[in-house]
């Protein structure tokens, strides 16, 4: 495979990650406006929100089966179209049925999208021979920052959802379709002809071998959902900040996530994936501890800053580890692993809320702290056969992008 094709494929896939980050942020940061538009009660809202990750899990299962017949790039291309159109549908639907159908379509499509874009990331990293997976997730974080900023502007100028979402999608959708022409499809699936059977290199994906990575993925997303759903409330209600200052932790978390992922691949190349995951787990746990013990708002913000730098490396490296563990069935492994993204998202927010209400929110912050520390026990799963990133890196690999 030529260096030019790899480089183009890397840029194209990064655009796909960026678009997904922006679209997802545009949805989740405008939940209050969506609730007001459709008159969804506070009691019913959690049902709508829980349905999206449940359907996304089903979408990830569907992607596992689709890629046995269609290249992952094809699944990514058309699921990204569906996600963008579903976002527009959320803004322009009518009544409960309209919003229910739009969110259902969004959930199913986003599950297929998340699975297929990480499949392509894992296979492209294999073709590169060095760690590049974190750079794709950095593009996702950048998209999330852009999407959240656009959502803030829409709220500030009191734009309707249609006026906000329509122009943004009219730019992002053609961009993603043009970029999709350069996706590099390297099959790492159960459909590969001529591959032998085996737990880590054949057609089967061993649940026993994949389970540690599934747990790590779920724990990471419990931590992530804790920040996204509870950081503002925690700063305002527990640490006594102003309403304006309470918006800072999540913004800081997003920025440090971007920074950590931007430089993370260099750490993997130098120290190996397992060392980076260990450092990230300790950093995330330290961040949660600082948040739990913070005497005031600014110390709490410092904790969320450390937390973002630590937690951001775990998810991309978990996908990469699945690709190393099942090199000839990586598409299937990634699709199954991706389901635990949504498991963590579903569990995290209600868990912290229940513990906060029954005990204390400071105590509740210790739960994700303990869970990310559990990741240390599974760090050996991220080890590979070489010094340069755990089996994906080659010492003299040419930088083609």
Q: What is the reported pLDDT for 401? A: 40
Equal fold, 1-183 vs 200-390:
yes
Range of 114-118, 237-241, 355-359 with top mean pLDDT: 114-118
Cα–Cα distance, 244 to 253 (Å, whole number): 16
Q: What is the reported pLDDT for 232? A: 87
CB 273 within 8 A of CB 130: no
Q: What is the reported pLDDT for 328? A: 87
Q: What is the mean pLDDT of the chain?
A: 89
Going by the DSSP 8-state scheme, the letter that residue 41 receives in this structure is -
Cα–Cα distance, 9 to 11 (Å, whole number): 6
Sorting pLDDT into bands at 50, 70 and 90, what band is 35? confident
Segment (H or E) for 328: none
Among the residue ranges 64-68, 71-75, 204-208, 347-351, the one predicted with the least confidence is 204-208
What pLDDT digit, counting tens, does each position of 140-171 carry? Answer: 999 999 998 999 899 889 999 999 999 999 99
pTM value?
Answer: 0.90
Sorting pLDDT into bands at 50, 70 and 90, what band is 43? confident
Q: What is the reported pLDDT for 52? A: 92
Sorting pLDDT into bands at 50, 70 and 90, what band is 386? very low
For the chain, the domains span: 1-183, 200-390
Q: What is the reported pLDDT for 69? A: 92
What pLDDT digit, counting tens, does each position of 187-223 carry? Answer: 544 334 333 333 333 457 888 899 999 999 999 999 9
Q: What whole-number percentage of the chain has pLDDT above 70?
A: 91
Q: What is the reported pLDDT for 187? A: 55
Q: What share of the chain is helix, strand, coil (3-state, %, to 5)?
A: 80, 0, 20
Going by the DSSP 8-state scheme, the letter that residue 274 receives in this structure is H
Average pLDDT (324-340) is 94
195 versus 73: the higher-pLDDT residue is 73
Residue 194 φ/ψ region, left for φ over 0, alpha for ψ in the -120 to 50 degree band, beta for the rest: left
Sorting pLDDT into bands at 50, 70 and 90, what band is 246? confident
Compute the CA torsion angle 312, 63, 55, 92 (nearest 10 deg).
90
Whether 29 has a pLDDT exceeding 90, the answer reads no
Whether 372 has a pLDDT exceeding 50, the answer reads yes
CB 306 within 8 A of CB 286: yes
Average pLDDT (389-394) is 46
Superfamily of structural domain 200-390: MFS general substrate transporter like domains (1.20.1250.20)
Whether 384 has a pLDDT exceeding 70, the answer reads no
Tell me which architecture the domain covering 1-183 has in CATH.
Up-down Bundle (1.20)
Axis-axis angle for helices 3-28, 72-92 (nearest 10): 20
Cα–Cα distance, 188 to 68 (Å, whole number): 10
Average pLDDT (346-360) is 90
Q: What is the reported pLDDT for 293? A: 97
Sorting pLDDT into bands at 50, 70 and 90, what band is 331? very high
Contacts of 384 (CB under 8 A, 6+ apart): 272, 273, 324, 390, 391, 392
What pLDDT digit, counting tens, does each position of 285-317 carry? Answer: 999 999 999 999 999 999 999 999 999 999 999
């Amino acid at each position: 495979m030529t260096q030019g094709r790899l480089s183009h494929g890397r840029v194209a896939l990064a655009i796909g990650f960026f678009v997904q980050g922006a679209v997802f942020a545009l949805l989740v940061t405008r939940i209050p406006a969506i609730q007001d538009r459709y008159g969804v009660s506070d009691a019913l809202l959690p049902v709508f929100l829980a349905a999206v990750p449940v359907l996304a899990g089903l979408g990830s299962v569907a992607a596992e089966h689709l890629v046995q017949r269609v290249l992952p790039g094809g699944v990514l291309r058309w699921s990204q179209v569906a996600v963008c159109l579903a976002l527009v549908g959320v803004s322009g639907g009518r009544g409960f049925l309209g919003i229910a159908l739009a969110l259902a379509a969004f959930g199913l499509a986003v599950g297929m999208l998340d699975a297929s874009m990480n499949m392509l990331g894992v296979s492209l990293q294999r073709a590169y021979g060095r760690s590049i997976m974190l750079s794709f997730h950095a593009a996702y974080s950048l998209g999330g920052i852009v999407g959240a900023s656009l959502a803030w502007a829409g709220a500030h100028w009191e734009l309707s959802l249609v006026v906000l979402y329509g122009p943004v999608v009219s730019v992002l959708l053609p961009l993603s379709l043009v970029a999709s022409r350069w996706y590099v499809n390297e099959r790492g699936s159960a459909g590969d002809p001529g591959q032998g059977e085996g737990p880590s290199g054949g057609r089967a994906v061993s649940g026993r071998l994949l389970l540690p990575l599934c747990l790590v993925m779920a724990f990471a997303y419990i931590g992530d959902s804790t920040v996204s759903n509870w950081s503002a409330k925690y700063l305002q209600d527990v640490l006594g900040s102003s309403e304006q200052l309470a918006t800072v932790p999540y913004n800081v978390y997003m920025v440090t996530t971007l920074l950590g992922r931007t430089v993370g691949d260099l750490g993997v190349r130098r120290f190996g994936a397992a060392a980076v995951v260990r450092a990230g787990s300790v950093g995330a746990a330290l961040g949660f501890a600082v948040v739990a013990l913070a005497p005031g708002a600014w110390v709490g913000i410092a904790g969320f800053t450390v937390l973002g730098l630590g937690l951001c490396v775990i998810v991309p490296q978990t996908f990469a580890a699945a690709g190393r563990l099942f090199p000839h069935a990586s598409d299937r492994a990634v699709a199954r692993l991706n389901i635990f993204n949504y498991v963590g998202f579903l569990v995290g927010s209600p868990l912290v809320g229940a513990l906060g209400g029954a005990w204390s929110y400071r105590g509740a912050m210790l739960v994700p702290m303990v869970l990310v520390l559990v990741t240390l026990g599974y760090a050996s799963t991220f080890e590979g056969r070489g010094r340069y990133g755990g089996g994906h890196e080659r010492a003299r690999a040419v930088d083609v992008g």
